[in-house]
Amino acid sequence: MRPRKIRNLTTRRENCTDLRIPYTLESFDFRTNDEHENFFDIEEIFGRKAPLVMEIGCGKGQFVCEYAKRNPDKNIIAVECVPTVLVEACEKVKEENIDNIRFLEMKAEYLPLFMREKTVCEIYLNFSTPYPKSRHESHRLTSKLFLDIYKKLLCDDGFIAQKTDSQCFFEYSLESFSQNGFVLSEISLDLHKSDFEGNIVTEYEQKFVNQGLPIYRLVAKIK
| Residue 162 touching ligand SAM (CB under 6 A) | no
- Please, which residues bridge with residue 160 across strands? 123, 220
| Residue 144 touching ligand SAM (CB under 6 A) | no
Binding region for ligand SAM (CB under 6 A) out of 12-20, 37-45, 73-81, 93-101: 73-81
| Residue 57 touching ligand SAM (CB under 6 A) | yes
**Shortest distance, CB of residue 27 to ligand SAM, whole angstroms?**
20
**Shortest distance, CB of residue 164 to ligand SAM, whole angstroms?**
9
Among 53, 54, 68, 85, binds ligand SAM (CB under 6 A): 85
| Residue 81 touching ligand SAM (CB under 6 A) | yes
Q: What is the DSSP string of the chain?
A: ------TTHHHHHHTTGGGBPP--STT--TT-S-GGGGS--HHHHHTS---EEEEES-TTSHHHHHHHHH-TTSEEEEEES-HHHHHHHHHHHHHTT--SEEEEES-GGGHHHHS-TT-EEEEEEES-----SGGGGGGSTTSHHHHHHHHHHEEEEEEEEEEES-HHHHHHHHHHHHHTTEEEEEEESSGGGS---S----HHHHHHHHTT---EEEEEEE-
Binding region for ligand SAM (CB under 6 A) out of 11-19, 43-51, 75-83, 112-120: 75-83
| Residue 82 touching ligand SAM (CB under 6 A) | yes
**Shortest distance, CB of residue 49 to ligand SAM, whole angstroms?**
26
Q: Which residue, 81 or 222, has its beta carbon nearer to ligand SAM?
A: 81
What is the contact mask toward ligand SAM in residues 9 to 48, using x (rule: CB under 6 A)?
A: ----------------------------------------
State the Cα–Cα distance between residues 12 and 120, nearest whole angstrom. Answer: 29
Residue length, the chain?
A: 223
Give the max Cα distance, the chain.
54
The crossing angle, in degrees rounded to 10, of helices 83-95 and 62-70 is 30
| Residue 79 touching ligand SAM (CB under 6 A) | yes
Q: Which residue, 80 or 177, has its beta carbon nearer to ligand SAM?
A: 80
| Residue 158 touching ligand SAM (CB under 6 A) | no
Q: Please, which residues have CB within 8 angstroms of residue 25's CB and are 6 or more apart in sequence?
A: 110
Q: Which residue, 32 or 138, has its beta carbon nearer to ligand SAM?
A: 138
Residue ranges that bind ligand SAM, judged by CB under 6 A: 1, 56-59, 63, 79-82, 85, 107-109, 126-129, 202-205
